């Protein structure tokens, strides 16, 4: 008889960490290549993965029929404001291309708005705890969900 050592809590957590790590690598590649739209889409996927703990707000009418479903959280509002900045900067850049005016400055603003999204997501992810490998653990095998990794003695 074989024992089943399946532990969904650990496996699910590790899967999320690895998935996020892969998405961050993709985001960095898109940013470095200058593909701003692809970079933004990868950041959207990261945000989606980070919201797995957040509750869904369900609105019902007097007959208990569901009439609306939405995410509820301060972080969702922050993301919405940042996404609006990106949308406006993208629109302004497209307009500048049409009229052949201030193309570089509008692209810089577009880049900066996506960079803000990137930085905020990294800080948001850090605030959730346990989703990054720790930085000061002497034993790399304990760097996840525990101490932090550093070279040398403890």
Confidence category of residue 60, pLDDT binned at 50, 70, 90: very high
Q: Count the neighbouring beta carbons within 10 Å of the beta carbon of residue 117.
A: 23
- The band of 153, judged by pLDDT with boundaries at 50, 70 and 90, is very low
Q: Which residue has the tokens 């969904």?
A: 8
Whether the CB-CB separation of 24 and 32 falls below 8 Å is answered with: no
d(CA 5, CA 145): 19
The pLDDT, as a whole number, for residue 149 is: 42
Question: CB 10: neighbour CB atoms within 10 A?
Answer: 11
User: pLDDT tens across 66-122, in order?
Assistant: 999 988 778 889 999 999 999 999 999 889 888 888 878 888 999 999 999 999 999
> Which of these, 148, 116, 120, lies nearest to 132 by C-alpha position?
148
- pLDDT tens, 111-136? 999 999 999 999 999 888 766 655 55
135-145 mean pLDDT: 53
The answer, yes or no, to whether residue 47 has pLDDT greater than 90, is yes
């Amino acid at each position: 008889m074989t024992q089943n050592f399946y532990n969904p809590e650990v496996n699910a957590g590790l899967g999320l960490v690895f998935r996020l790590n892969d998405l961050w690598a993709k985001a960095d590649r898109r940013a470095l290549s200058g593909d701003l739209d692809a970079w933004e889409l990868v950041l959207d996927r990261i945000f989606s993965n980070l919201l797995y703990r957040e509750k869904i707000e369900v609105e019902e009418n007097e007959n208990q029929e569901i009439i609306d479903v939405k995410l509820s959280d301060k972080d969702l509002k922050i993301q919405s404001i940042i996404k609006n900045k990106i949308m406006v900067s993208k629109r302004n850049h497209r307009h500048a291309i049409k009229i052949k005016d201030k193309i570089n400055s509008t692209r810089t603003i577009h880049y900066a708005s996506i960079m803000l999204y990137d930085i905020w997501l990294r800080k948001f992810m850090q605030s959730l705890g346990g989703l990054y490998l720790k930085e000061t653990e002497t034993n790399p095998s304990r760097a996840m969900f525990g101490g932090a990794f550093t070279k040398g003695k403890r």
